[in-house]
A and B are shown apart, each in its own frame.
Chain A
Amino acid sequence: MGRIRVLKRQEPLGWRSCLVLFGAAGVSLVLSGILLGLQDRPPLTAMGVLFQGAFGSAWAIEDCLIKAVPIYLCSLGVAVAFRLQVWNIGAEGQFALGAVGATAAALYFPDLPWFLLLPYMALAAFIAGGSWGLIPALLKIRMRANEIIVTLMMNYIAILFLDYLVYGAWKDPASFGFPMTPTFTESAIVGRIGDTHLNWGLALCAVCGLLVWIFFRYTLLGYELKASGENVRAARYARLPYERLVILVMVLSGALAGWAGFIEASATLNRLQPSIMVGYGYTAIVVAWLARLNPLFIGLASFLLAGLRVGVENLQLELQVPAAFGQIMEGLILLTVLAGGFFTEYRLRLRPRP
Chain B
Amino acid sequence: MTREILISLLAATVQSGTPILYATLGEIFTERSGILNLGVEGIMLVGALAGFLGAKFTGSPVSGFLLGGVFGMGLAGIHGLVCIGFNGNQVVSGLALTILGTGLANYLGTPFIGQSAPGFSPWPVPVLSRIPILGEIFFQHDFLIYISYLVPPLMWLFFRYTRWGLGLRAAGEHPAAAAAAGLNIYRFRWAGVLTGGFLAGLGGAYLSLAYTHLWTSGLTAGRGWIAVALVIFAFWHPLRAFLGAYLFGGVMAFQFRLQALGADLPSSLLLMLPYGLTILVLVLSSWRARGDQAPAFLGINVEPSE
A interface list, Cβ under 8 A from B = 5-8, 35, 87, 89, 139, 143-146, 148-150, 152-154, 156-157, 160-161, 163-164, 167-168, 282, 285-286, 289, 322-332, 334-335, 338-342, 345-346
Contacts and interface: CB of A to CB of B under 8 A. Distances in A.
Interface stretch (B5-13, B133-141, B285-293): B285-293
Given A167-B268, A327-B102, A338-B82, A149 B282 contact: yes
Contacts of B82: 335, 338-339
Interface in B78-114: 78, 81-82, 85-89, 91-93, 95-107, 110
Q: Is the interface of A mostly helix, strand, loop or mixed?
A: helix
B38 interface: yes
Contact of B278 (A6, A149, A168): A149
B41 to A, nearest CB: 9
B154 interface: no
A286 B82 CA distance: 15
B4 interface: no
Contact of A146 (B97, B276, B282): B282
B271 interface: yes
Interface string B41-73: 010000000000000000000000000000000
Contacts of B96: 286, 331, 334-335, 338
B88 A331 contact: no
Contacts, number: 150
Interface residues of B, number: 51
A160 B269 CA distance: 7
What 3 A-B pairs are tightest by C-beta distance, nearest first? Answer: A331-B100, A327-B103, A324-B106
Given A153-B229, A338-B96, A341-B87, 4 more contacts: A87-B91, A144-B287, A146-B282, A282-B95
B86 A328 contact: no
A324 B279 contact: no
B279 A153 contact: yes
Contact of B106 (A143, A285, A327, A338): A327
B283 interface: yes
Contacts of B78: 335
B99 A334 contact: yes
Contacts of A143: 283, 286-287
Contacts of B81: 339
A287 to B, nearest CB: 12
A322 B109 CA distance: 10
9 contacts: A145-B282, A145-B283, A148-B91, A150-B283, A152-B225, A156-B222, A167-B268, A324-B103, A335-B78
B272 A157 contact: yes
B159 to A, nearest CB: 22
Contacts of B305: 6
Given A139-B283, A156-B275, A338-B88, A328 B107 contact: yes
A335 B100 contact: yes
A346 B93 contact: no
B74 to A, nearest CB: 14
A168 B88 contact: no
Given A324-B103, A338-B89, A342-B88, A145 B269 contact: no
